[in-house]
Amino acid sequence: MGSGTGIGRVRGLGSAKSGTHHWINQRVTAVGNLLLVLWLIISILQLPALDYVAVTTWLAKSWVAVPMMLMIVSVFYHLRLGLQVVVEDYVHEDGTKFATFLLLNFYAIGGAALGIFAIAKIAFTGAAS
């Protein structure tokens, strides 16, 4: 790679080849969030009560547990992609950026796993008795 002319510096580098994929997935998960979060908000507003028994009985239903799990995946995937862009815009030092991405991945995957496990536990061990 030359260090002289502009063309010499960019020749052969091209794009990172994953930008379009990131962009599309940000949109796909945005549509997922749109449908699933609106579903959650409308459902919660329609629940007769939000106490322990009402909430766990509701969450244990398969047609609630499944969309809820899908919502967790969609939200955490979307925020993982979104926060990556924010980090790229403000964190420029390579080491710090690497560490921040590490934390971001732990947060996104760990948070999603915790949420899905909680839903599965309620669904499989039965609602409040």
Partner 1 sequence: MARPQTRPLSPHLTIWKWGPHMALSILHRATGVGLAVVGALGLVWWLTAAASGAEYYAFFLKQATSWYGYVVMIGITWAFFQHMFSGLRHFVLDIGAGYELKTNKSWSLVVPVLSIFTTAAIWLSIFSGKL
Residue ranges binding ligand HEM (CB under 6 A):
26-27, 30, 33-34, 37, 75, 78-79, 82-83, 85-86
Q: CB–CB of 47/58 below 8 Å? A: yes
The dihedral formed by the CA atoms of 98, 99, 100 and 101, expressed in degrees to the nearest 10: 50
By CB under 8 A, is residue 117 in contact with partner 1?
A: yes
Residue 14, Ramachandran bin (φ over 0: left; ψ between -120 and 50: alpha; else beta): left
Closest approach of Cβ 28 to ligand HEM, in Å?
10
> Among 71, 21, 25, which Cα is nearest to 44's?
71
Select from 66, 99, 103, 114 the one that contacts partner 1 (CB under 8 A). Answer: 114
Please name the residue that has the structure tokens 């899905």.
116
Q: Say which residues have a Cβ less than 8 Å from residue 36's Cβ, sequence separation at least 6.
A: 67, 70, 71, 74, 75
Select from 79, 91, 97, 101 the one that contacts partner 1 (CB under 8 A). Answer: 79
Select from 64, 74, 76, 100 the one that contacts partner 1 (CB under 8 A). Answer: 76
Question: Which is nearer to partner 1, 25 or 56 (by Cβ)?
Answer: 56
Joined tokens for residue 62: 């398969």
By CB under 8 A, is residue 75 in contact with partner 1?
A: yes
Per-residue x/- marks for partner 1, 37-66, CB under 8 A? x---x---xx---xxxx-xx--x-------
